[in-house]
Structure 1
Amino acid sequence: MLGELVTATRTHALMMAPHMRAAEVREIMASDGLTPIRGLLRELDRSSSAWSWIIDGEVACMFGIITPYLLDQESYPWMLTTPLVESNSRQFARACRALLPELLAVHPKLSGMVDARYELSVRWLGWLGAKISSPEPWGAEGVPFCRFEIGA
């Protein structure tokens, strides 16, 4: 994989927040009413595991898994990205496909919500094999979001 996958830190969040893709800034505002830095730090703080993909010293994306209860069968993945993901899209896609079985081995059911207006993200989740529901009003702004599920 181009770049390096490392344990995510608050410093990564501070570095990445000003560079997040506009569609993701809009998504976290619509879902939770949060700014990029507050959204990144909140997800990082709630995660049982979180990683950053670093390319040439810059944070391309941060992602993690939130597991609300130790014995819960459902975990909630999150991922926020910068334009570096687009300029390294093939490596990003391969890395995601390779990492997904490892995540599902530990977290058999991954589910969450995605802004239906963020068509690229919806298509990417479908490409990964997610079942995607019809859009329904959700979140702080009540805009259309789709529930997605991968695994069990």
Structure 2
Amino acid sequence: MAKVEVVPARITHVGPIASRIRAIDRLECEAMGHSPKHALRQGFLLSDRCWTALVDGRPEAMFGAITLSALDRRSTVWFLGTDEVYRHGRELLAWGPGLIAQAVPRGWTGGNLVSAQNWKAIALLRRWGANISADPHDYDGMPFFRFSLSHVAKSDRP
């Protein structure tokens, strides 16, 4: 059985994830005008809090939160990964609430966009309690939904 762990992100995790990123994540990055490597690097550099999911010691996903407005208590949350991540759906479900609690401070809202075609991510976000808009917004010919997450009860992970 594979060992899944979440660790503080390192810049050296960017390349291995970018080179094997999920096709839908690549399309989302490109619709926003970025390569996967650039999006991961910017996410890492701009995030207040950033983690990497390792599967058997290999970087498979990176995610974090970037403060948009301390006054309005809003942040952008993001997640990019390889196909390997979705082979470990139970772990994602279990880790999610604790990570959201760490990424989105109490009283804050985290949000972002998710491709309307990214049904796995939409299902996961719903399981984590996200509110997902019903009206898509078009970016470079690709429909995206806005989503928001609020701070949830902290679990024992990570």
SS at match of 2:95: helix
Q: Distance in 2 between matches of 1:22 and 1:74?
A: 29
The 10-residue stretch of structure 1 (56-65 or 101-110) with the greater mean CA deviation from structure 2: 101-110
CA deviation string 1:107-135 (max 9, x = no partner): 62111111111111111111111111123
Tell me the secondary structure at the aligned position of residue 68 of structure 2. Answer: coil
1:75–1:107 CA contact under 8 A, matched in 2: no
Alignment-derived partner of residue 25 in structure 2: 24
CA 112–50 in structure 1, closer or farther in 2 if over 3 Å, else same: same
CA contact under 8 A between 1:62 and 1:81: conserved in structure 2? yes
Name the count of aligned residue pairs. 150
TM-score normalized by structure 2?
Answer: 0.84
Unaligned runs of 5+ in 2: 152-158
Does 1:145 find its partner at 2:144?
Answer: yes
Match in the other structure for 2:128: 128
Does residue 75 in structure 1 map to residue 75 in structure 2?
yes
Q: CA deviation at 1:52?
A: 0.5
Q: 8 Å contact 2:49–2:103 — kept in the other structure?
A: no
SS of residue matched to 1:19: coil
Alpha-carbon distance, 1:84 to partner: 1.8
Q: Mapping of 1:52-131 within 5 angstroms?
A: 52-106=52-106, 108-131=108-131
Aligned-partner Cα distance in 1 for 2:91–2:66: 25
Aligned counterpart, 2:10: 9
Runs of 5+ consecutive residues of structure 1 not aligned to the other structure: none
1:47 Cα deviation after fit: 0.9
1:86 deviates by: 1.8
For residues 27-74 of structure 1, the C-alpha deviation after alignment (integer angstroms, 9 at most, x for no partner) is 1111x1211111111111221111101121211210000003444411
> What is the root-mean-square deviation in Å for CA atoms of aligned residues?
2.0
Alpha carbons 2:132, 2:148 under 8 Å: kept: yes
1:76 Cα deviation (Å)? 0.8
Aligned partner of residue 146 in structure 1, secondary structure: strand
Moved beyond 6 Å, runs of 4+: none
> Within the alignment, does 1:38 sit opposite 2:38 as a pair?
yes
8 Å Cα contact 1:109/1:149 also seen in 2: yes
The CA deviation at 1:103 is 3.4
What one-letter code is carried by the residue in structure 1 that aligns with 2:135?
P
Q: What displacement does 1:106 show?
A: 4.3
SS at match of 1:5: strand
Contact kept? 1:61, 1:80, Cα under 8 Å: yes
